[in-house]
Every structure is written in C-alpha cells, then in structure tokens.
Chain A
Amino acid sequence: MAVTPSYEAEQPAAGESASTGYDPNYVPDSVKSFVVHMYRHIREKNVYEIHQMYETSFQSISERLFKDSPWPSVDAVASYVDNDHVFCLLYREMWYRHLYARLSPTPKQRIDSWDNYCSLFQVVLHGVVNMQLPNQWLWDMVDEFVYQFQSFCQYRAKMKSKTEQEIALLRQYDQAWNVYGVLNFLQALVEKSMIIQILEQEKEGLEQFTATDGYDYSGGSNVLKVLGYFSMIGLLRVHCLLGDYHTALKCIVPIDITQQGVYTSVIGSHITTIYHYGFANLMLRRYVEAIREFNKILLYIFKTKQYHQKSPQYEQILKKNEQMYALLAVSLSLCPQVKLVEETVNSQLREKYGEKMSRMQGYDDDAFTLYDELFSYACPKFITPSSPSYEETLVNYNQDAYRLQLKLFLYEVKQQQLLSGVRTFLKVYSTISLGKLAAYMEVDEPTLRTILMTYKHKTHSVDSDGKITSNADLDFYVDDDMIHVTESKPAKRYGDYFMRQIVKLEGIMTDIDRIKLE
C-alpha cells in the first residue's frame, strides 16, 4: 500500500469549490458496496461485470452522491479492499478523473494526479499486473492522462493570474506533467507491451489481438498490451497538440486505420484516432485522405450515435462530431472532392456549413474570416510544452501555440486563394489557350503560368518516399500555349465487382447442386 503521505494533508483542499460539507473519510454504503464488488470482479477477472460497474454504477453513484464533491478518499475505502495497492491506484485514477470532470482541480491535485499516473504506469510497466480490464477503462486512462497533461499545460501557461504560492508550487514540482515524462511513459508502454510486434505477427497469423479485441482468454492480462496499443493513439494526439504532424502520423503507422481494429472497439478511441489523423493530414495538405476518413467516421457516428445516448462520453461524441464537420468543410473548400463524401454526410454538411462553404470559395476577407472561425472552432487545444520563465514579467502564453498554428494554416489558405478562380474557368472548357484564360482572369500570362503550376503543386502531395498522389478532381495539362482540361472520373472498380459476382455465383451453384430433383 503506497499512498503518498502528502495525500492526507491536502484532503481538506479537495473540491474547495464544492460544498463545504464534504468529508473525505465518510464512505456511504453504496460506495462500500461498489469498491467491494469491483475489487472482487477484478480479482475474478470478470470483465463483463467490471465493465458494467465501471460504465454504469460509477456514473450513477457519481450522479447521485458526488455531483459536486469528490468521491471518498482512497484511505477511507482501502480497508474494504485489503489495502490492495493496485486497486487503490485504480481507484485514485477514477477519483481524479471524476474530480476533473465535475470540479476544478487545485494545483496540488493536478500534481498528485500526475504522481498517481506515474505509480500506476510503473506498476503496469514492471509487469506486476495480472488483471483483465475492459478496453473502455484502459482507453479512458490513456485519454485522461493526455487530457490532464494538456490541461496542465494550459493552466501553467496562464501566468498572469498566478499567486506566489502557485508559482512556488510549480517550481517545486517542475517534473510534474513534464512533456518528456508524458511522452516517455506513452513510449515505454508501447515498447514494453511489444504491441507493434504483436500487430506485425498478427498479420502473419501468429498472434491474436484484434480478433479477441485485445482480451486475453488464456488466463493472462490484457492491461499492458492494450495500454500499449492505446498509447500509440495517445502519442498521435500529443504530437498533434505540439504541432508535430509528421511524427504524429508516424506513431500510428502500426494501426491500419482502413480496417476495424481494437481502436474501433471503443467509440472514444475511434473518434480520437480519426479526428487527429484527419487533422494531421489536413495540415500536411493531404486533403483527400482527410476527407475520406472524416467521411467514414461521420457516417459511422450518424448511424450509431443513438446507442451512445446514455454514455458519459455522449457529449464529447457530439462535440467531436461537430468539429469534424467543420474540418470536413475546410478540407472540401480547399479540395472540392465532394464525390468522396457519402450522401448522408453530405446533406448534414450542407445543412451545417453549406452557406459558409459557398462564402469560403470567395477568397476575400470574409472567406478568410470563415477559415479562421472554423479552424479555431475545430482544431485541437494546442500546447506550449516549455516551462514559463519565472524571472521575467509574468505573461500568459497559453494562446501562443494555437495562434501559430492558425497563422500558418491561414498562410496556406492564402497561397491557394487563386486556385478556386482558375478552377471555375477550367470547369467550363476542355481546351483553352493561355492567352485567353489570362484575359478572362485579368492577369498577365506569366502570372497565369504560376497560378497553373501552383494548382498542380498544391493538388499533388508528395510523401517521404517521393510518391506523388493527386488530390485533384479537375486536372489539366499544358501543351506549350494550350491548356487541356480533364475531369478525372472515379475509377470504376470492375475487378472488385466481378470478384464479388464470382463468389456469389459460386454460392448459387453450390445451392443448386444441393437440390435433388425427385
């Protein structure tokens, strides 16, 4: 039982914003019963029951008894669970998560929660854990870990309003939520779990992971493996928060996002993955990839959201849903590949952003304001990972990272501002001379040539292997002074169609063979 001594001392501060009647040592019967049962189910590796208690009982007890106060302290419940060290760590993880969701954490609580994650992950990394926990819970741990990191960075960067006490605390615990610490924990979980190798071997048929949703049915523990798996998504997100989109995408290469996988087994993880994947691709100018994945997940959410109405994540799902529509609107405005978007998603999109999207085609100040608005609404909460300098005058720098990303994004939009004009003309001609088009566009010929080349450059992304991918729906080539326009039609997948028909026909023939004529 390793409870940090400081914990007891800071209890009175817990939930200071809430009712003053909170007694951390008072354990209501329902909580007693909750921890006793949870503890038993964990020991018996009853994943189903653990999941029920985690998803349902914890929420309903919170709703009933701890709406605006924290749960009882871990010390008060420890005696009901044999003072089990790991259970206490798990309990505290939930305790802080609840606190973050319902109240605002004190600076000391932020730091203590970091300590708790350190202890918890250490235990997992050293292989002491022999539990089987629901994917939902394991995902929530990684998700919350990254969220609290981001929240801490935002908090720390608001220097102006800090009291001397707070600053002293920040200086004293300068290792808490340190970006290297966060990244190294996630990285260690990925490595120690061997998840990358497991996924590799699964392709060879040597290992089962996806097929069992990451659970271990041969008596082992799923905790390290699945935490390692979700940590890849955690790394994707942290790198996006830092503005490092290239590295972000590299972190989830082991996960094939064109397929279902363990990441789709939890809606929160599914959405987080695609949201950040799509966003990183948008920033890398790989619009087609972003559009394709946003489209798929938005359709999925549209079809399944009714099943999540009672879930504690429901609001978060709806929010990310709206943000991804905004990002889709941005992607399509830069790269009008509407035929990649499914009908349902498209009509939702028109309803939400139809009017804005047509204004965004204008490339005037109004259009830039809209790009700014949609980006700001839908982008991740970027962070500045450096510690404040305590010597200089205290300034807030929590907006710096966001402002930089926004500025660079708008810069990109400006570089593309002439492209929609040229597209409009090219759409109505199959051939046109440079001179004539230049006259229509009211530019000189050399300028038109640069616009045409910019169009080509911006619509053709080049990956690190030098492979060129066209993102253009409308393409052209120039033969000396003559422009030839080609509208690329979606390649019909005859091959795939015939394959399916062959399989179908074979099935029918097998059926017919079975019929015996009397």
Chain B
Amino acid sequence: MGREITNSAAAANQKQQSTTSYTVEQLVAVNPYNPDILPDLENYVNEQVSTQTYSLNANLCLLRLYQVEPDRMSTKIVARILIKALMAIPAPDFSLCLFLIPERVQMEEQFKTLIVLSHYLETARFRQFWDEAAKSRHILEVVPGFEQAIQAYAVHVLSLTYQKVARSVLAESINIEGPALDKFVEHHVANSGWAIEKSQTKGQLIILPPTEFNHPELKKSASDGIAFENITRILPILG
C-alpha cells in the first residue's frame, strides 16, 4: 500500500517533470508554426517573469502567432515580453519584438512608454531613463530584476567607453547613490576587477577592467591567429 503510493507519486512527479521539460522550448523547436501552442507560450512568458529567466525564441514565436491571429493577442503578455526584451539590452531584442507588433497596438499608452524607455537606453541617456522609469513603476514592477538588468547594461556601455570614469558619472548611469553606491562598487571591486583611484580634484575615479574595447592595444594581439583548418594545408609538408 505504502509502496503503491510512492509509486504513483513518483509517476505523477515524473509526468510533471516530463511535461515541464517537454514544454515550450522543445515545442518551439519541433512545432513552431502551430497555433495550438499559443497558451503554452503565454504561460511560459509568465514563468520567465516569475523565475527571472528569458527565452527570446519562445517569445518571438508567440508574437508571430499573435501576428497571424491578432484577436488572440493579450496586451498584458505583450507588455511583459517587451519589458523582458528591454532587459536583454545591449542585444537588439526590443526592436526584434517591435518588428512583429502591429503599429496600432504600439500606439497604446503602456507601449509608448516602453518605446520611450528603450529610446533612452539606446541613446545612453540614463538620467532621462531613470526619471521616466520612476514615473512608470506601475508598468515595470511586474517584472522582477528590471533595475538590475538595466544597471548591468549601463555598466556594459561604460566599460566599452571608459578606462576610468568619475564616480558621479557612474552614479547617474546606474541610478544609485551614497552608501548603496559604495556597496555596488565594492561588489564589483571584489568580483569584476574594478579598482578605485582617488583623484585630488574630483573625488573618486573608478578604473574599469581592461577589455579590447576600452584598451584597443589588447585587440591586435588577438586577431593574428591562424585557424586550425588552415594549418591542415601544410600538414602534409611538415610530415
């Protein structure tokens, strides 16, 4: 009796597992042009929001289904997809989604707001972005991790641009000040190779980790490699 229960529980559990593991990503891969998977994809968007995961492929697939059957479109879901796509910046996901959303839908107030936010991010106007985001909290707070994602983007662009950046510029870009900023910087000093330099005239300077994008001299050494396929050409000679 006891064994039976465990068995059926295991079976149920397994079933659950197989449905969850078989859903969405695989459905999208195997059956991307099937309107029947629309509800699954919608649920998956909500799942991405709650578990802080992301799948561009699944979301584009859903937008494509909406494109064919506009009557089934849920603007609530579309908004979530767009916020998720905004969080994927610097990848161009937000535009990729907009390309698939009919213009009349984009006219809705909440989408207009998201488009403005995207515009500020694309043009690196962080101050305006954070001001606008504060006004639109009701739209954005549905999706956890939003601020962190944008902060990561700001750090990305700063790292592409600066070797050393003033603390105040950093503060404005990521919208953090005071002790919270100290903590943020400390965290990156410990984990991402940041360093702090005290400048006498202007306070703190943050030294961002060198990459080939802010230290161009790092680039040249990397580019003169030889692909393995090319070496095969001279193997008979060497041998």
Instruction: Please give the residue numbers on chain A whose beta carbons come within 8 Å of chain B beta carbons, in ascending order.
Output: 179-180, 183-184, 187, 242-247, 250, 283-285, 384-386, 400, 403-405, 407-408, 411-412, 415, 446, 449-450, 452-454, 456-458, 460-464, 468, 470, 475, 477-480, 486, 488, 491-496, 499, 502-503, 506
Contacts and interface: CB of A to CB of B under 8 A. Distances in A.
B165 A503 contact: no
Given A244-B100, A415-B119, A453-B158, A477 B163 contact: yes
Contacts of A415: 119, 122-123
The interface centre, meaning the residue of A187, A245, A480, A495 with most chain B CB atoms within 10 A of its CB, is A480
Contact of B237 (A412, A464, A495, A506): A506
Contacts of A477: 161-163, 213-216
Contacts of B231: 499
B99 A244 contact: yes
Interface in B191-239: 199, 205, 212-216, 219-220, 223-226, 230-231, 233-234, 237
B98 A408 contact: yes
Contact of A450 (B56, B125, B220): B125
B160 to A, nearest CB: 4
A415 B89 CA distance: 15
A202 to B, nearest CB: 15
B233 A503 contact: yes
Question: Which 6 pairs across A and B sit closest by C-beta, in order of nearness?
Answer: A453-B124, A495-B226, A243-B99, A491-B223, A183-B33, A456-B160
B23 interface: no
Contacts of B230: 495-496, 499
Contact of A452 (B33, B95, B161, B172): B161
13 contacts: A179-B33, A184-B33, A242-B64, A243-B100, A245-B99, A408-B99, A415-B123, A456-B160, A457-B122, A457-B124, A480-B164, A499-B230, A499-B231
Contact of A488 (B124, B216, B224): B216
Q: Give the interface size class of chain B.
A: 35 or more
Given A480-B164, A480-B205, A502-B234, A486 B123 contact: no
A242 B237 contact: no
B92 interface: yes
Interface in B99-130: 99-100, 102-103, 119, 122-127
A448 to B, nearest CB: 11
Contact of A460 (B61, B160, B220): B160
A492 B157 CA distance: 29
A458 B172 CA distance: 21
A299 to B, nearest CB: 23
B236 to A, nearest CB: 9
